[in-house]
Every structure is written in structure tokens, then in C-alpha cells.
């Protein structure tokens, strides 16, 4: 009886401890609060098709090496969830951050949940490309999927949210074609361009 009671007591204590740990882990998970106000719906949202700034971004990516061949950006000062919506049966969550200038900063992240897997469409500002290219900002829209990083647009102004959202919908549905796409084949010494739009000059 005593041995059975001790075993039962230990089991109960272990279950309680596991429950506490589970709750602690849930509490530790970061949550993104809804945005307090509406997103920017105005602005020229002018696209740019000069190849130089995009090549600067791609070259920065390549210098990171094969193991870090992913677009990177500084942690934003804050972020909030704009909305959640569906495109062709794929669930998307839109995350916004204040526009900040720097080597690489994030304006929007669109978390895409496809049946085949998850990805992010990123809207990033690149300060180096803007400094060299001049004539406005360099804000690029990209997605990484299956080892390929594709850029779908560049803007010389901070784009209005509806413009970005529409473009993301086209990316997710497959209607949008990339301005440029790159990958780093396994074991290769450098990355390679796998798509290049003739509008880039």
C-alpha cells in the first residue's frame, strides 16, 4: 500500500510539474498585438526597375555565404498584426513595423501558410542600395521558397498597404512573376540567378 501510494504521489507530482512547464512555455511564446490604427493607404507607391539596387541586395545576400543565404534584417522597434486573410485557400497574417532607415530593416512581414509549407513575404528597406542608387528609397518585396529567393517588386517610396497586400495576393496565388530570383546550389562556390525580368535595366 505504501509503495503504491508513493508511486501515485510521484506520478501526480510529475503531472502537475509538466502542466506548470507547459503553461510557462505558452506564456513565454511571443504574441503580436493587433495594430492600434489603420495602415497607410496613401502614397505614390512608385515602383523602380533599375537593376543596380536589386543587384546590391543580391550581392549582400551572396557575401553572407551558403549557410546564411537568407534575407536578413535588423529587429524592428515594434510590430503589430494588421489582419489575417485568405488567398486561394492559403492563410496569411500581415505583420507591420514602423518604417526605419538602416542597412536592412523590415516594414511588413506576411506569414503565408500553404498546404505544402510555410513561408514569409518580406517588405524590406535597404539603406545601402538607396544610398548608391539615389532617386528615392529602395524597398523590395521578396519571398524565399524551396531554397529560391525571389524579388517581386521594388519601390522608391514607402508603398501604401493596399498596394502591398494586392501584390502579396498575386505572389501567393502564383499570378506574380519575379523581377529576379536567385539560389545557391548545394556545394556550389556561389549563388546563381535563375530568373531575371527584362524590365530591369
Order of strands, sheet of 148-155, starting from the edge strand that comes earlier in the sequence: 80-87, 90-96, 105-114, 117-125, 139-145, 148-155, 180-183, 192-196
The model carries a pTM of: 0.84
Q: How far apart are CA 3 and CA 181, in angstroms?
A: 66
Range 30-49 burial, b when 16+ CB lie within 10 A, else e: eeeeeeeeebbeeeebebbe
Report, as ranges of residue numbers, the positions in the chain whose pLDDT lies below 50.
Answer: 1-29
- Give me the residue spans of the domains in the chain: 1-30, 51-196
pLDDT of residue 26: 37
Task: Summarize pLDDT for 6-62 with one digit per residue, the tens.
Answer: 334 434 433 443 443 443 333 344 579 999 998 988 888 999 999 999 999 999 999
pLDDT of residue 30: 52
Amino acid at each position: 500500500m505504501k509503495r503504491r501510494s508513493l508511486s501515485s504521489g510521484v506520478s501526480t507530482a510529475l503531472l502537475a510539474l509538466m502542466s506548470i512547464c507547459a503553461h510557462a512555455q505558452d506564456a513565454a511564446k511571443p504574441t503580436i498585438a493587433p495594430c492600434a490604427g489603420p495602415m497607410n493607404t496613401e502614397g505614390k507607391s512608385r515602383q523602380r526597375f533599375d537593376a543596380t539596387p536589386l543587384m546590391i541586395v543580391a550581392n549582400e545576400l551572396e557575401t553572407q555565404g551558403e549557410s546564411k543565404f537568407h534575407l536578413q534584417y535588423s529587429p524592428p522597434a515594434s510590430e503589430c498584426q494588421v489582419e489575417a486573410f485568405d488567398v486561394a485557400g492559403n492563410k496569411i497574417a500581415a505583420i507591420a513595423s514602423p518604417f526605419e532607415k538602416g542597412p536592412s530593416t523590415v516594414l511588413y512581414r506576411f506569414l503565408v501558410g500553404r498546404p505544402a509549407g510555410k513561408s514569409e513575404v518580406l517588405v524590406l528597406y535597404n539603406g545601402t542600395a538607396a544610398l548608391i542608387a539615389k532617386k528615392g528609397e529602395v524597398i523590395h518585396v521578396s519571398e524565399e521558397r524551396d531554397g529560391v529567393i525571389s524579388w517581386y517588386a521594388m519601390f522608391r517610396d514607402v508603398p501604401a498597404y493596399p498596394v502591398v497586400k494586392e501584390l502579396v495576393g498575386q505572389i501567393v496565388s502564383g499570378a506574380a512573376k519575379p523581377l529576379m530570383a536567385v539560389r545557391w546550389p548545394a556545394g556550389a562556390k556561389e549563388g546563381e540567378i535563375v530568373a531575371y525580368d527584362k524590365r530591369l535595366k
